[in-house]
Amino acid sequence: MIRNLIGLFVLTVMVSCGGDDGPPPAPEGAALVFPEENSECTTGTEINQTSTQVTFRWTASNNTDRYTLTVVNLETNVPQNLSTVSTSASLTLSKGTPYSWSVTSQNLSSDQVATSKTWLFYNAGAQITYAPFPVQIVHPLSGSTVLRNLANEILLEWSGADVDNDIDSFEVFLSTTNPPTTSVGITSATNMELAVGVESGTVYYWRVITKDLEGNTSDSGVFDFKTL
């Protein structure tokens, strides 16, 4: 009897001391440092007449073992990805081209990841003025399903930026065909939303053309959504 009690006590101690410590801590998102948001990057190392090597920097994030740098050419939407344990990495980029970049943090003991903010920049070229960055879609996200309001409208929202800070207007195109060619409105540089009438059970395609005071333009590309 005493032996059984001693065995039970030892087992209880082992369970209490060796219990589940819980899941590993999730990584946190890194803070981006350089190239700066909505800037012209002029510090790259020249590779040839069309390319420079740009070094990206960010701050270390908690609970992180590895980072993945993602840089997207906004003219072609082609990404470059680079994995590193450092807080900096270099990539060769085309001159005079707009890019977006972000960093994903990973903890090797966890399935969770954390992604930083996404910043835009122009890799410096021979331009005197730069076209606006293609707008970033806020709502509705491409491929999403949205509900009309009581007026049978939905609100299109986007975010625009420009190195020269001289955006003049945004023109919105919306239709049920791809690519959309019907202009449904032009907004000012400070108005980045537009309410549009839609029908239920329909797939719509939309894009935004940004124009600056120099006459330069950029195209967001085509996005789609379905209405309920």
Chain segment 171-207, per-residue pLDDT in tens: 999 999 999 999 999 999 999 999 999 999 999 999 9
Residues of the chain with CATH 2.60.40.10: 32-123, 136-227
Please state the rounded mean pLDDT for residues 142-149. 97
Q: What percent of the chain has pLDDT over 70?
A: 91
**What pLDDT shows up at residue 20?**
57
Alpha-carbon distance of 163 to 133, in angstroms, equals 8
Alpha-carbon distance of 86 to 66, in angstroms, equals 8
Alpha-carbon distance of 197 to 183, in angstroms, equals 13
Q: What confidence tens digit (pLDDT) does each residue in 39-96 have?
A: 999 989 999 999 999 999 999 999 999 999 999 999 999 999 999 999 999 999 999 9
**What pLDDT shows up at residue 15?**
46
* Torsion sign (Cα): 172, 76, 165, 136: positive
pLDDT category of residue 114 using cuts at 50, 70 and 90: very high
Of 56-70, 88-102, 115-129, 152-166, the least confident: 115-129
Closest CA to 204 of 171, 178, 170: 178
User: Which is higher by pLDDT, 50 or 15?
Assistant: 50
- Give the fold, CATH level 3, of 32-123: Immunoglobulin-like (2.60.40)
**What pLDDT shows up at residue 148?**
96
**Domain range 136-227, its CATH number among 3.50.50.60, 2.60.40.10, 1.10.620.20, 2.20.25.90:** 2.60.40.10
Angle, alpha carbons 129-134-140 (nearest 5°): 160
User: Cα–Cα distances in Å, from 208 out to 14, 145, 172, 216?
Assistant: 64, 19, 5, 14
